[in-house]
Amino acid sequence: MSGVIVCENLVKTVESILSKGYGYSAEEARITAWVLVEADLRNVPSHGVSRLAFYRMNRDRGFSKPGACPEIVWETPCSLVVDGHDGVGGYVSDFCVKHTIEKAKNAGTGFCAARDSNHFGMAGLWAEMIARHDMIGMAFTNTRAGAIPTYGRERVLGTNPISVGIPERNKRDGIFLLDMATTTVPHGKIEVYDRRGKPMPLGWAVDENGVGTTDATAFEKMFLSDHAYGGHLFLGGEGEESGGHKGFGLGLLVELLCSGLSLGMSTVKTFKEGHGSGITHFFGAIRLDLFGHADELKKHIGKILDDIRESEKAAGQDRIYIHGEKESEARALALKEGVHIDGATRELLGKLTDEFGLESPRWQ
């Protein structure tokens, strides 16, 4: 049975599981709980507290090592490379983003490539954090191998998301926030369909024979098996006819920014026994005032977006959504009415709190 929980109570529960159950430090637990709960607040359950199971598996198999400290191994006035030493992904990313912001404050731009990290949650959270400083924020990451290249058969790239945040100023005073997988959907979305026992839409993925499938549960079993055939399709789908090679190109671009510039592992080498996960990231920050007065630019950007919002709608539609608006509005509603958690995730939270002798979540 699904449930609703006050945000603060959910954060407290997740922090307790991470610190007392998983051995995270207080700061690692605080940042990771923020990362996971923010996803559920924004109605992105694929990256929400359901990820606690994945994070536990990564810790148990030695892919993620709580307590590891990120280290700057290369630095210039506007850039840095960070070795995460297989640490907690959110903790490593928080370190990287804060340094990237400081670089941009001082030099106008800041860029960071990070290697040997772990899953960092929604890419948009990090791009948004940068954009809140009147900067263009960028966040990219590779993931475990899950996608097949155009004309390929083997999973050699991840879902490799791209996120860019640009501040705007109008009646909404918000942020244009693009946050997208370079595959048709992120893997977590297929996991949601598997947890809920529902067929996924055709066109998201293919099986080991290269045939489109709607069976999310069978796909998950295949995805976690030892062989590496079948997987996610990039944006545009199979072949080149609908632009699949363009989605493949975007995924490869992310790979080169993250793994290439950090001297990190390529996706096909991640999550190998005896090593950390090998996940890599790339962050960027560009101060708006490099191009003029920040307030004037934000107002102008807002007007451009308003022109699009106010353009003619398709039959039966009453609104055009700008990227980030649905998530922002869902967040505001969840803070007011509570966070909706699906039945499988509610059961997971109950099992974890019972196992570690923690206070049970207080559901509304």
Give the pLDDT of residue 239. Answer: 84
Query: How is the beta sheet containing 162-167 ordered, strand by strand?
Result: 71-76, 79-83, 109-117, 279-287, 135-141, 162-167, 175-180
Give the pLDDT of residue 171. Answer: 57
Fold type of domain 68-184+238-309: Ribosomal Protein S8; Chain: A, domain 1 (3.30.1370)
Average pLDDT of each block of 10 consecutive residues along the chain (364 residues)? 96 98 98 98 95 97 97 98 98 98 98 98 98 98 93 91 93 85 88 88 86 89 82 90 94 98 95 92 98 96 95 97 96 97 95 97 93
Same topology between domain 1-60+311-364 and domain 191-232: no
Task: Give strand ranges (E) for 142-240.
Answer: 162-167, 175-180, 205-206, 231-232
Give the pLDDT of residue 172. Answer: 61
Domain boundaries, the chain: 1-60+311-364, 68-184+238-309, 191-232
Q: What is the DSSP letter of 228?
A: -
CATH of range 1-60+311-364; options 3.40.50.2300, 1.10.150.20, 1.10.1530.10, 1.20.200.10 = 1.10.1530.10
Question: Going by C-beta distance under 8 Å and a sequence separation of 6 or more, which residues neighbour residue 232?
Answer: 146, 147, 148, 155, 159, 183, 184, 185, 187, 204, 205
Task: Compute the distance between CA of residue 107 and CA of residue 287 in angstroms, rounded to an integer.
Answer: 9
Task: Compute the distance between CA of residue 105 and CA of residue 276 in angstroms, rounded to an integer.
Answer: 33
Domain 191-232: CATH class, spelled out: alpha beta
Report the predicted TM-score, pTM, of the whole model to 2 decimal places: 0.94
